[in-house]
Structures are given as structure tokens and as C-alpha cells.
Structure 1
Amino acid sequence: MQQQEYVSITEFCNGHSISTAVITQLNEYGLVSIIERSDSLYIPLEELPKTEKMLRLHTDLNINLEGVEVVTRLLERIEQTNEEMIKLKNKLSLYE
């Protein structure tokens, strides 16, 4: 079984100069997973790129967290649609 690594929310927020409340709210919207261990909160390493992307939307583009949620959900749907389209094209090429 592979051991998963985590980053402390406090360290992450200090490094990005934001409040821990932002990450907590992203967790409440279901956009970021937070793990609690020994009275501290952590973000899995695999979620860091996605979290940083949402953070850039929030801070750089001044999009509120509700807007970040909408944008993130739409981007996920676009990605799923693109993957489905590729699968369908591959199936179609078998019959050509």
C-alpha cells in the first residue's frame, strides 16, 4: 500500500499569504479534501495543483469562492466531455 503525503494547511496558507479560512471554505464546497491528523489539518499532495489553481482564481482574478466553485465544476465537466469525445472518436475509427 502506497503511503500518501500531506502538506499542513497552516504551512500552505502561510506560504501563499492567505487565511486558513479560505481552504476551509473550499473544503466546505467540496472542492478540496482536508485530512485531520493529530489536531492539525492537512491537504494531500496530489490536491495541491488543483488547490493552487483555485487559489489563483480567487486571489488573482478576484473571483469569490462561489464563483470559484462554479468555474471549477464547469472545467471538470469540460474535461470529462473531452475525454468522452476522445473515446468516441477512437471507437469510430475502429469502424472506418
Structure 2
Amino acid sequence: MENIDKLTIEECSQHYNIATSFIFDLDDHGLIVLTREEQVTYLHYDQLPLLEKYMRLHFDLQINMEGLEAISHLLKRVQLLQATIRQLGGQIPG
């Protein structure tokens, strides 16, 4: 069966020229989600933007895994606050 919506970790590692351990570390820290099927680990295509973001932060800016976790948490909080502001936007007197 062909996997058209996901890459094996090895394929991903080769494509981006990164160690598989980096991808597994991101999964271990809850930053991306890997799936395992029949002894093979995959990364779904919808996770690629996150992988690329964390690669830039880690390799270009030298941010460690704990820093990536903190950044991820803060970005999620900002998105939640922005959504709340949009919901309240119609309720605030102008």
C-alpha cells in the first residue's frame, strides 16, 4: 500500500538532511506527532510546516528542545488570545 500522505522518518531525514534523532526528539517533547505502523515510523505531511519551523529555530538560532517547547507554548497562548479577541471584537463598544 502506498503512503501518499506521509513520509517515513528515514525519507524525511534524507530530504531535510537532518538526523532522525532530531525528529524523534521533537516527538518526545510533544512538538510534532509521529505515527507508527508495522515497525515503521511516519510523519504526516500536515506536520511538515511544524518540522520546518522547529528546524529553523533549532539549527539557525541554536534554540534547544526546552526552548522550542517554551516557544511552542507561548505561540499557542498567543493564538488563543487572538481568537478570543476576535470573538469579543463585536462586543466591545467602539
Q: Which TM-score band applies after superposition, normalised by the shorter structure?
A: 0.7 to 0.9
Q: Which amino acid aligns with 1:84?
A: T
Number of corresponding residues: 91
Q: Which amino acid aligns with 1:23?
A: I
Please give the residue correspondences for 1:77-88 in structure 2 after superposition, counting only pairs within 5 Å: 77-88=77-88
Q: Does 1:32 align with 2:17?
A: no
Q: Which runs of 5+ in 1 are unaligned?
A: none
Match of 2:71 in 1: 71
Please give the residue correspondences for 1:39-58 in structure 2 after superposition, counting only pairs within 5 Å: 39-58=39-58
TM-score normalized with structure 1 length: 0.85
Aligned-residue identity in percent = 30
Which 4+ runs in 1 deviate beyond 3 A? none
Root-mean-square deviation (CA, aligned residues, Å) is 1.7
Once the 2 structures are TM-superposed, how far is the Cα of residue 38 of structure 1 from its aligned partner?
A: 2.5
TM-score normalized with structure 2 length: 0.87
SS in 2 for 1:42: strand
